[in-house]
Structure 1
């Protein structure tokens, strides 16, 4: 096990890492770094994949908002490889296949190192499978390597941004990217002035032009979906804040209840 730890430690040192702050950043600094990361993320979602056809099947179309990816950009895979690496390691540790005590600082450090190495592995694995699997249609060898390189770069940059938010910003970069993707989609669905088949895509422009017809529009964003989104959001926030006091009886203290 010591040899495995040493191997992962060496591989982890070869991976670039964001330096930890020497002292706790102020709230203003955290907000600034979080905003910078958010702007960089939105910029990456607009960087298109170079030299690749636009055909092929989009396997992640329905999961795009969960993975915080952007179709046709270098971050098309989003946080998928990073999250997959974390889930796999958690399962291996939880099932005792890998013997680690995460309450022990040394084991916790090794777990974090292994997670970074595993993230690189899954980035290379998933981008290769994505490019070879027909997402961009039939590709030459040069185009396949180009797709793997660009998608890997995008996922790696997201991993670094997640590391930056964790150490210098507020919360988790992964949560931030998911929130940004959801907010972007909701705002686009509500305010988009783009038209298709003579109808506005955005709910608000459609409400102004179609009236009650904007309540339900089938394949287009509609008022019913927008209302449901806010209802679910409020319900989740309420459920998260609900606290229930459960009485506990201590038999060794004569049934004393707390």
Structure 2
């Protein structure tokens, strides 16, 4: 495994990359660079792939949650979105956390090796996914015969050109993310692109004037629909709240109200803390408290479940020409698919019940796994407390004792916070929240991260001495 990691890191070393700026740009310039990265991504998500015929159909077929989690835009240069980057990062984190890869990420050299290997793996995954889309011809072209691989209305040259566009576009997205993380911008490109996808979905559901379909002239967006129905004289409380049972998937007042309720609830919960009383060795008798976030694993369990579903959906799409494989993935996708509004509670209660059970169990498993992988488990927190010179009053400075005490807080907190987040996401999906429950959960967390980063950077610019104290100089 170490040899494979070294091989991937060597390839990553030779790939074109972004250098860290010799002098830290001002906050204003970093915000400008971040804006440029966002504009480039949105441009890529609007430019159709050259050589394909089914771009509009592909965009409609992609589930909303897949488009949001992977920042995908079907039929465009952002067809793969951040999927390969996220999948590669998840694989690498699990390998390191499970000790299959023996890396100490606190050391800069090993952290660099990890990053380079992850970069190469993401590019390999992008190549494989792009190859799958090109080989499974019906995704992009019309069939000319029974064989979906060979009987396709596209030459080998066109298929190669589409593959090249997908890989190159994914690599450009990787470079945009890398440029922000290297210090040219603010935060992470991955987070920025996810946030852009959620914002775009919410904006479209509120303001899109485009008709629902060729047979349904009413505007898709809720605000234009409200104006249209007032002019048409068909306005009613029922239509405004749910847009009638035949068009339950359309944006409504219920989804808009749910959006604000979910956002306020998440903002409140993310500011809640659980405090553990501690003392310090250096100042005997002085007591303080170490805060643990109430949503201890934040949005990670739900994000990982969504990534799993999105990956399964992509594999299902790419294997559609093989009925046996497609059926295997189809069962998993059917039950993992998010709930399509409260109408489905009555029309298909069995699937909804099984979905909730599977979703909850997977989220709990991912939540408990993540605290072990990320070092947020009791042993990791106990080690950090001891290194900081802190101790729990009345207990010996023994890591095992601290671990046992912290375990009484951390494991119940992980389970409780995961269940709360899962409940919020499921309820949000039932009420057809704009941007989906998972999307709003991710967006609220990302906005808070960016806000914290900007406040931190402004403090460093206002008080330069802080750079020396914090080692940023």
Equivalence map 1:145-160=2 (5 Å): 145-160=160-175
Cα deviations by residue, 1:48-77 (Å, 9 ceiling, x for unpaired): 111112177677433111111112101111
TM-score w.r.t. the length of structure 1 is: 0.89
Aligned twin of 1:51: 51
Equivalence map 1:59-138=2 (5 Å): 60-62=62-64, 63-133=66-136, 134-137=138-141, 138=143
Give the secondary-structure state (helix, strand or coil) at the position aligned to 2:275: coil
Deviation at 1:12, TM superposition (A): 1.6
Using the TM superposition, name which of 212-221 and 3-12 deviates more: 3-12
Cα deviations by residue, 1:55-102 (Å, 9 ceiling, x for unpaired): 776774331111111121011110000111111111111121111111
TM-score w.r.t. the length of structure 2 is: 0.50
Check conservation: 2:2, 2:101, Cα contact below 8 A: no
Using the TM superposition, name which of 21-30 and 3-12 deviates more: 3-12
Equivalence map 1:1-258=2 (5 Å): 7-54=7-54, 60-62=62-64, 63-133=66-136, 134-137=138-141, 138=143, 139=152, 140=154, 141-167=156-182, 168-196=184-212, 197-210=216-229, 211=235, 212=237, 213-217=239-243, 218-247=248-277, 248-252=392-396
Deviation at 1:198, TM superposition (A): 2.2
Alignment: residue pair count: 253
Question: Is the alpha carbon distance of 1:189 and 1:251 closer, same or farther for their aligned partners in structure 2, counting shifts above 3 Å?
Answer: same
CA distance in 2 between partners of 1:5 and 1:91 (Å): 14
Give the secondary-structure state (helix, strand or coil) at the position aligned to 2:95: helix
CA distance in 1 between partners of 2:79 and 2:2 (Å): 37
Question: Is the alpha carbon distance of 1:201 and 1:6 closer, same or farther for their aligned partners in structure 2, counting shifts above 3 Å?
Answer: closer
CA distance in 2 between partners of 1:22 and 1:2 (Å): 32
Using the TM superposition, name which of 116-125 and 240-249 deviates more: 240-249
CA distance in 1 between partners of 2:126 and 2:205 (Å): 31
Structure 1: state its 5+ residue gaps.
254-258
Check conservation: 2:242, 2:254, Cα contact below 8 A: yes
Deviation at 1:154, TM superposition (A): 1.5
Question: Is the alpha carbon distance of 1:6 and 1:93 closer, same or farther for their aligned partners in structure 2, counting shifts above 3 Å?
Answer: closer
CA distance in 2 between partners of 1:71 and 1:88 (Å): 24
